[in-house]
């Protein structure tokens, strides 16, 4: 099929690259010419495993092209995916200005038969609002669908290629047929498709993220309780998560959830609940618990060091999770700011983070290597669970530190191994080893 993808951020660019790889002809649109120049070289403007290969192959085969001229992208498109950013706005759901600006340009330019798919994560009710706003364009049966995306950063290509479900929120039979046709080369069984109304599609997206976020907050509070009672959260997590109705996934305790989706989607669903007079109090508590979790870890650091002022700390990890360079809503970044604010002398290392405009350079020094920068440090904190941290020369690091104390704020390292390397180890609700 001839596909246009408007907005080449994390969702849009992955969608464009994967659709091209599956044999469709795809034209991507973005307003940032610098970004387009990078993509034209077969490189992703953000870190995402496997994406560069797909982009290079798509461009080479001629099935993928990118432009900043919208009309050129939309001319022959049979289906248009709207995937512009809907960034967080003041903890109250997303800012939709870019979304409405893009919709205002796309709808008039699109052919009357072209199917418009909303891939951007928009608050519940937005698809219906879009249909209302542009009612004049489609007198009958507006070919509009809300098809939310569930990919995770760091495994976005795999997630996009093998979706658990394809939720298609539409009133239009032609839109339903076209969306299924786009996914035909993915060879998905019929039961993976979930046709529904737009409002249900939007609710599914927000509810899925909110449930997972609430599960993490539950895990964090339980781990904090384990810490107070001298119980081992690893054992508790295994015991609780072994029940298949609960499952171990998303029960990892630590610094809390972050990123550009969970906090925003949770806030958006809470707001929808307020507006509909159906308060989501469980989610309100989950969001509040998440906000407290970074403070909990900062307090642990304070306790370990006997006050933070003037203490020399090295923090490993700044991104909100591994395999991404994204620090939006990152609890690790928040922790760094909090420690520095409380007077710690902080140096931070991250395999992928590159300073942008968050002002981090005024708060901490960025390290090129934890081995070079650990000498004389009072405390080492692991704040993002990058897998390569397992293979650091821990004996050497422990030997060089002033006080070999390790606060594993992601519960990722092996306690016995760290104790053998010479550390006093402290996790979140894990039994300490020394």
Place of tokens 């509810």: 207
Pick 142 or 256: Cβ nearer ligand UDX? 256
Sign of the dihedral defined by the CA atoms of residues 144, 150, 154, 156, in that order: negative
The answer to whether 258 contacts ligand UDX (rule: CB under 6 A) is: yes
The least distance separating ligand UDX from the CB of residue 64, rounded to whole angstroms, comes to: 22
Both structure tokens of 113: 């038969």
The answer to whether 259 contacts ligand UDX (rule: CB under 6 A) is: yes
Distance CA 145, CA 370 (A): 48
Buried b (16+ CB within 10 A) or exposed e, 130-166: bbeebeeebeeebbbbbbbbbbebbebbebbeebeeb
Pick 24 or 321: Cβ nearer ligand UDX? 321
The answer to whether 51 contacts ligand UDX (rule: CB under 6 A) is: no
Instruction: Give the H/E segment covering residue 398.
Output: helix 394-400
For 246-398, where are the E strands, in sequence order? 312-316, 345-349, 365-366, 379-382
Pick 74 or 428: Cβ nearer ligand UDX? 428
The yes-or-no answer on residue 374 being catalytic is no
For residue 367, report the phi and psi dihedrals to the nearest 5 degrees: -100, 145
For 181-296, where are the E strands, in sequence order? 193-196
Pick 167 or 418: Cβ nearer ligand UDX? 167
The answer to whether 408 contacts ligand UDX (rule: CB under 6 A) is: no
Interacting residue with ligand UDX among 254, 263, 404, 427 (CB under 6 A): 254
Distance CA 247, CA 352 (A): 31
* Contact track, ligand UDX, 185-224, x by CB under 6 A: ------------------------x--x---x--------
Distance CA 214, CA 211 (A): 5
Q: What is the largest CA-CA distance in the chain?
A: 74
The answer to whether 318 contacts ligand UDX (rule: CB under 6 A) is: no
Least Cα distance to 331 among 291, 299, 302, 285 occurs for 291
* Contact track, ligand UDX, 319-338, x by CB under 6 A: -xx-----------------
The answer to whether 377 contacts ligand UDX (rule: CB under 6 A) is: no
The answer to whether 349 contacts ligand UDX (rule: CB under 6 A) is: no
**Number of shown-chain residues binding ligand UDX (CB under 6 A):** 20
Pick 237 or 280: Cβ nearer ligand UDX? 237
Interacting residue with ligand UDX among 130, 251, 347, 428 (CB under 6 A): 251
* Residue 328 · residue 259 · CB < 8 Å: yes
Pick 415 or 428: Cβ nearer ligand UDX? 428
The least distance separating ligand UDX from the CB of residue 207, rounded to whole angstroms, comes to: 12
Least Cα distance to 173 among 188, 190, 195 occurs for 195
The least distance separating ligand UDX from the CB of residue 40, rounded to whole angstroms, comes to: 26
DSSP 11-57: HHHHHHHHHHHTT-EEEEE-S-HHHHHHHHTT--SS--TTHHHHHHH
Which range of residues in 27-35, 95-103, 252-260, 299-307 is near ligand UDX by CB under 6 A?
Answer: 252-260
The least distance separating ligand UDX from the CB of residue 212, rounded to whole angstroms, comes to: 6
The C-alpha R_g of the chain, in whole angstroms, comes to 23
The answer to whether 389 contacts ligand UDX (rule: CB under 6 A) is: no
Residues 127-156 that bind ligand UDX (CB under 6 A): 149-153
The answer to whether 50 contacts ligand UDX (rule: CB under 6 A) is: no
Give the CA-trace dihedral at 64, 65, 68, 72, to 10 degrees.
Answer: -100
Pick 172 or 252: Cβ nearer ligand UDX? 252
Both structure tokens of 226: 């384990």
Pick 59 or 283: Cβ nearer ligand UDX? 283
The answer to whether 261 contacts ligand UDX (rule: CB under 6 A) is: yes
Which residue out of 73, 226, 261, 348 is catalytically annotated?
A: 261
Binding-site ranges for ligand UDX (CB under 6 A): 149-153, 209, 212, 216, 250-252, 254, 256-259, 261-262, 320-321
**Which amino acids are annotated catalytic?**
261
């Amino acid at each position: 099929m001839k596909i246009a993808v408007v907005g080449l951020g994390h969702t849009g660019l992955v969608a464009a690259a994967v659709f091209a790889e599956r044999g469709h002809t795809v034209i991507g649109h973005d307003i940032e010419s610098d970004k387009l120049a990078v993509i034209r070289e077969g490189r992703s403007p953000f870190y995402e495993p496997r994406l560069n290969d797909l982009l290079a192959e798509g461009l080479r085969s001629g099935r993928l092209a990118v432009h900043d001229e919208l009309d050129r992208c939309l001319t022959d498109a049979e289906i248009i995916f709207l995937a512009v950013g809907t960034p967080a706005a003041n903890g109250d759901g997303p800012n939709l200005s870019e979304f409405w600006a893009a919709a205002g340009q796309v709808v008039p330019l699109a052919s009357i038969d072209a199917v418009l798919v909303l891939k951007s994560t928009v608050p519940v009710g937005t698809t219906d609002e879009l249909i209302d706003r542009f009612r004049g364009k489609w007198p009958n049966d507006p070919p509009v669908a809300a098809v939310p995306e569930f990919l995770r950063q760091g495994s976005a290509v795999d997630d996009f290629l093998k979706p658990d479900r394809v939720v298609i929120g539409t009133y239009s039979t032609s839109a339903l047929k076209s969306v299924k046709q786009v996914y035909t080369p993915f060879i998905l069984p019929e039961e993976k498709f979930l046709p529904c109304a737009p409002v249900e599609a939007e609710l599914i997206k927000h509810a899925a993220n909110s449930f997972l976020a609430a599960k993490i907050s539950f895990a964090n509070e339980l781990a904090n309780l384990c810490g107070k009672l001298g119980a081992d959260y690893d054992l508790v997590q295994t015991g609780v998560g072994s029940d298949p109705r609960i499952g171990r996934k998303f029960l990892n305790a630590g610094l809390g959830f972050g990123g550009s989706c969970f906090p925003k989607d949770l806030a958006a669903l809470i707001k929808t609940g307020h507006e509909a007079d159906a308060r989501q109090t469980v989610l309100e508590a989950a969001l509040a618990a998440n906000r407290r979790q970074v403070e909990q870890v900062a307090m642990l650091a304070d306790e370990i060091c006997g006050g933070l002022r003037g203490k020399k700390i090295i923090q490993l990890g700044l991104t909100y999770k591994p395999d991404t360079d994204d620090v939006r809503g990152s609890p690790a970044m928040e922790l760094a700011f909090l420690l520095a604010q409380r007077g710690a002398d902080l140096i931070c290392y991250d395999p992928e983070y590159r300073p942008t405009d968050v002002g981090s350079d005024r708060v901490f020094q960025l390290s090129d290597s934890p081995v070079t920068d650990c000498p004389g440090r009072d405390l080492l904190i692991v704040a993002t669970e990058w897998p390569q941290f397992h293979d650091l020369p821990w004996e050497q690091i422990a030997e060089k530190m002033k006080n070999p104390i390790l606060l594993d704020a992601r519960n990722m390292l092996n306690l016995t191994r760290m104790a053998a390397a010479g550390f006093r180890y402290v996790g979140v609700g894990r039994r300490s080893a020394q």
